[in-house]
């Protein structure tokens, strides 16, 4: 890969989502990595500049380091499709489905990919009696989360019936759709994927050991107490089975470029259950894709270059009629 072949590159970072702070950290790391390899890379914050400036200013590729809404949900991808500027990561449809945890589950269930059972509550249409009865179906604890947020924002582990209403109401502030999910006790792992279609491959699985088992926003990005185990130390055969499963899950969603899927392995049955997919994963100092890539012999800088080289458009541009 000749860095000069990429042309002028915009690293999209910041943005309008609740994950803006993390996105700025991710984008800053990517920008420095690309600059260190001789790429003509520039920071671009869609919260401060209109996307139309990408075309005006002659950008030829975009590295999307945005997280969450207005960056990972198909909206920016759609704008870049219209501008004709290739971008990293999944396209419009795969991004839109993957940001929505409920829609992701529906696709996975249809394709026989195991995921925890769930109940969907819609803001403004659920009654108190309906909320407090959710554990009757899913058991306790229950995981309550906004359907379209990332980085564990708004996620609550509910231990008792009396705590359900407050958790659902808090999640409903962040999203009109609230996902109540069966809690799976066991090993928490994550597995990144690089590539597209038949060429996609799973990187080493990472096992996450968070303080008191609470892998929340603080412990994800700002704690040194969370441990990440690579090699993951799972029993023989389990890592390979998880890699095969996440590859299937990634492909059925139509993802491309890269992604990362979070998984819980049931402590009793050792069955893996897929929780969600990230189509624009973090690239901070605490982030897991770079960590897994290092275990596979890929440096942070090489990873950034590889991802940039995979930038593409969903639709091939047709020549304008003369």
Clarify whether 151 is annotated catalytic.
Answer: yes
Catalytic residue among 14, 15, 17, 19: 19
Around Cβ 168, how many Cβ atoms within 10 Å? 23
Beta bridge partners of 179: 120, 145
Q: Of 20, 61, 148, 260, which is the active-site residue?
A: 260
314 is catalytic: no
Find the catalytic residue in 177, 282, 287, 292. 282
Catalytic residue among 91, 195, 262, 287: 262
Is 276 designated active site? yes
Answer yes or no: 282 catalytic: yes
Annotated catalytic, 19?
A: yes
| Catalytic pick among 126, 215, 221, 250 | 221
Per annotation, catalytic residue among 151, 280, 287, 310: 151
Q: What is the CA radius of gyration of the chain?
A: 20
Could you tell me which residues come within 8 angstroms of residue 210 by beta carbon, excluding any fewer than 6 positions away? 188, 216, 219, 225, 226, 227
- CB distance 230 to 290 below 8 Å: no
Structural element, H or E, at residue 105: helix 101-110
**Does 71 qualify as catalytic in the annotation?**
no
From the list 98, 278, 280, 310, the catalytic residue is 278
Burial group, residue 2, by CB count within 10 angstroms (0-12, 13-18, 19+):
exposed
Tokens of 152: 């564990």
Annotation marks residue 310 as catalytic? no
Is 57 an annotated catalytic residue? no
> Among 100, 149, 163, 276, which one carries the catalytic annotation?
276
Distance CA 207, CA 263 (A): 10
Catalytic residues: 19, 151, 221, 260, 262, 276, 278, 282
């Amino acid at each position: 890969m000749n860095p000069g072949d990429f042309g002028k590159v915009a690293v999209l970072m910041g943005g309008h989502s609740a994950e803006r702070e993390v996105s700025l950290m991710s984008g800053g790391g990517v920008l420095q990595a690309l600059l260190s390899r001789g790429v003509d890379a520039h920071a671009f914050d869609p919260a401060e500049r209109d996307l139309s400036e990408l075309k005006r200013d002659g950008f030829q590729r975009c590295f999307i380091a945005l997280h969450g809404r207005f960056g990972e949900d198909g909206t920016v991808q759609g704008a870049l499709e219209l501008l004709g500027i290739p971008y990293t990561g999944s396209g419009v449809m795969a991004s839109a489905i993957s940001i929505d945890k409920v829609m992701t589950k529906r696709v996975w269930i249809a394709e026989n990919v195991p995921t925890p059972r769930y109940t969907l509550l819609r803001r403004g249409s659920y009654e108190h009696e309906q909320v407090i009865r959710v554990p009757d179906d899913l058991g306790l604890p229950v995981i309550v989360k906004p359907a379209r947020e990332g980085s564990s924002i708004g996620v609550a582990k509910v231990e008792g019936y009396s705590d359900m209403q407050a958790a659902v109401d808090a999640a409903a502030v962040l999203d009109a759709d609230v996902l109540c999910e069966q809690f799976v006790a066991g090993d928490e792992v994550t597995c990144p994927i690089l590539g597209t279609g038949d060429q996609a491959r799973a990187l080493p699985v990472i096992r996450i050991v968070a303080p008191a088992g609470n892998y929340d926003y603080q412990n994800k990005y700002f704690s040194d107490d969370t441990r990440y185990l690579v090699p993951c130390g799972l029993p023989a055969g389990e890592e390979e089975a998880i890699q095969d499963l996440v590859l299937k899950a990634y492909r059925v969603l139509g993802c491309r470029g890269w992604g990362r899927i979070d998984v819980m392995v049931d402590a009793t049955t050792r069955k893996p259950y897929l929780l969600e997919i990230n189509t624009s994963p973090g690239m901070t100092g605490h982030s897991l894709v770079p960590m897994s890539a290092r275990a596979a012999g890929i440096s942070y800088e090489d990873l950034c270059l590889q991802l940039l080289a995979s930038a593409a458009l969903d639709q091939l541009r047709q020549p304008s009629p003369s």
